[in-house]
C-alpha cells in the first residue's frame, strides 16, 4: 500500500481529490508534523478490510516504510460504504493502540445444537495494547454454560499484553432454553384449561 502527498495533485483540495478516485487523509505521529496524504479509493477499502482500526501495518510514503494504524475514518453520510477521509497514526515501539477489538464466542454452535439460545450482548470491548502486539481479538468459551448462565468480560481469554478498559462485570453473552407457549384451537379449549387449573388449586 502506498500513500501519496496531496501536494502531488494539481488541485489538492479534498473534494477535488475524491473526484479523482482517491480518499484524502492525514498522517501524523510523535516528533513529526502532520502530513496531508491521499490513497487510491480501492486500495484504501482493501487496507481497511484487512486492518480496521485495531491492527498495526506497514505503508509506503516518500520511499520510506512507516508502521501505522488507522486511528479514525469518516464515511459518506449518504453511503456508509464510501470513505471520505482517514487518519493514520505513525507508531513507535513505545506507542499504545487504544481501540475496540471483537469478541469471538467459542463453542457457540455446540451450545445451540443442544437447544439453547445464545444472546450476545457485547460484540467488542475497549482495550489498550502495545503498537506491535499482533493479537486483534479476544475470545470466550460458552461450553460450560447452562440454562440461565452468562459470560462476563472477566471470563474472557485475554491475550498477554492487552489491557481491558471495559467493565469486567459486563455481560458478554447469555444462554437460555427457548420459552414454550401452549396453543389452543378455540375459546372452549381455553375455558377447559382454566377450569382444570382452578380445580388443581383447590
SS3 sequence of 114-145: CCCEEEECCCEEEEEEECCCCCCCEEEECCCC
3-state SS string for 79-99: EEEEEEEEEEEECCCCCEEEE
| Whether 64 contacts 2, CB under 8 Å | no
pLDDT for 82-119, tens place per residue? 999 999 999 887 888 888 899 999 999 999 999 989 99
The Cα–Cα gap between 37 and 163 comes to: 32
pLDDT for 26-57, tens place per residue? 999 988 899 999 999 999 999 999 888 878 88
Strands lying side by side in the sheet with 22-29: 4-5, 35-40, 22-29, 79-90, 64-76, 57-61
Query: DSSP character for 14?
Result: H
| The listed CATH number (3.40.50.20, 2.40.240.10, 2.30.130.10, 1.10.3720.10) that belongs to domain 4-92 | 2.40.240.10
Per the DSSP assignment, residues forming a β-bridge with 24 are: 38
Enter the pTM of the model.
0.62
pLDDT for 119-161, tens place per residue? 999 999 999 988 777 777 899 999 988 888 999 999 999 998 8
Sign of the torsion angle spanned by Cα atoms 49, 52, 58, 61: positive
Query: DSSP character for 78?
Result: T
Q: What is the pLDDT of residue 201?
A: 56
Residue 188 has pLDDT above 90, yes or no: no
What average pLDDT score do residues 10-24 get? 89
Q: How far is CA 86 from CA 32, 37, 83, 120, in A?
A: 18, 9, 8, 30
Q: What is the pLDDT of residue 186?
A: 52
The CATH number assigned to the domain with range 97-176 reads: 2.170.120.20
Lowest mean pLDDT among 1-15, 74-88, 152-166: 1-15
**Scanning the structure block, which residue is given the C-alpha cell 479476544?**
138
User: 113 vs 1, which has greater pLDDT?
Assistant: 113
Task: Give the three cell numbers for residue 164.
Answer: 481491558
Q: CA triplet 41, 92, 136: central angle to 5 degrees? A: 65
Q: What is the pLDDT of residue 184?
A: 47
Band of pLDDT at residue 76, cut at 50, 70 and 90: very high
% of the chain beyond a pLDDT of 90: 52
Q: What is the pLDDT of residue 51?
A: 87
Going by C-alpha positions, the residue among 193, 199, 155, 201 that lies closest to residue 174 is 155
Q: What is the pLDDT of residue 73?
A: 95
Residue 189 has pLDDT above 60, yes or no: no
Residues forming CATH 2.170.120.20 domain(s) in the chain: 97-176
Task: Give the three cell numbers for residue 43.
Answer: 486500495
User: 77 vs 185, which has greater pLDDT?
Assistant: 77
Q: CA triplet 78, 83, 84: central angle to 5 degrees? A: 85
**What number of residues does the chain have?**
202
Residue 166 has pLDDT above 60, yes or no: yes
Amino acid at each position: 500500500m502506498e500513500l501519496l502527498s496531496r501536494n502531488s495533485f494539481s488541485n489538492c483540495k479534498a473534494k477535488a481529490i475524491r473526484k479523482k478516485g482517491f480518499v484524502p487523509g492525514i498522517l501524523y505521529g510523535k516528533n513529526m508534523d502532520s502530513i496531508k496524504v491521499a490513497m487510491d479509493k480501492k486500495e484504501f477499502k482493501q487496507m481497511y478490510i484487512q486492518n480496521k482500526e485495531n491492527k498495526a501495518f506497514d505503508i509506503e510514503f516518500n520511499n520510506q516504510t512507516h508502521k501505522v494504524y488507522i486511528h479514525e475514518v469518516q464515511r459518506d453520510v449518504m453511503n456508509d460504504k464510501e470513505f471520505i477521509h482517514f487518519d493514520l497514526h505513525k507508531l513507535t515501539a513505545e506507542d499504545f493502540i487504544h481501540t475496540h477489538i471483537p469478541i469471538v464466542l467459542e463453542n457457540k454452535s455446540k451450545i445451540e445444537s443442544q437447544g439453547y439460545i445464545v444472546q450476545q450482548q457485547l460484540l467488542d470491548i475497549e482495550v489498550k495494547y502495545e503498537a506491535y502486539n499482533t493479537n486483534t481479538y479476544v475470545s470466550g468459551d460458552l461450553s460450560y454454560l447452562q440454562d440461565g448462565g452468562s459470560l462476563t468480560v472477566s471470563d474472557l481469554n485475554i491475550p498477554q499484553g492487552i489491557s481491558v478498559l471495559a467493565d469486567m462485570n459486563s455481560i458478554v453473552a447469555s444462554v437460555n432454553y427457548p420459552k414454550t407457549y401452549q396453543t389452543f384451537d378455540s375459546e372452549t379449549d381455553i375455558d377447559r384449561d382454566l377450569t382444570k387449573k382452578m380445580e388443581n388449586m383447590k
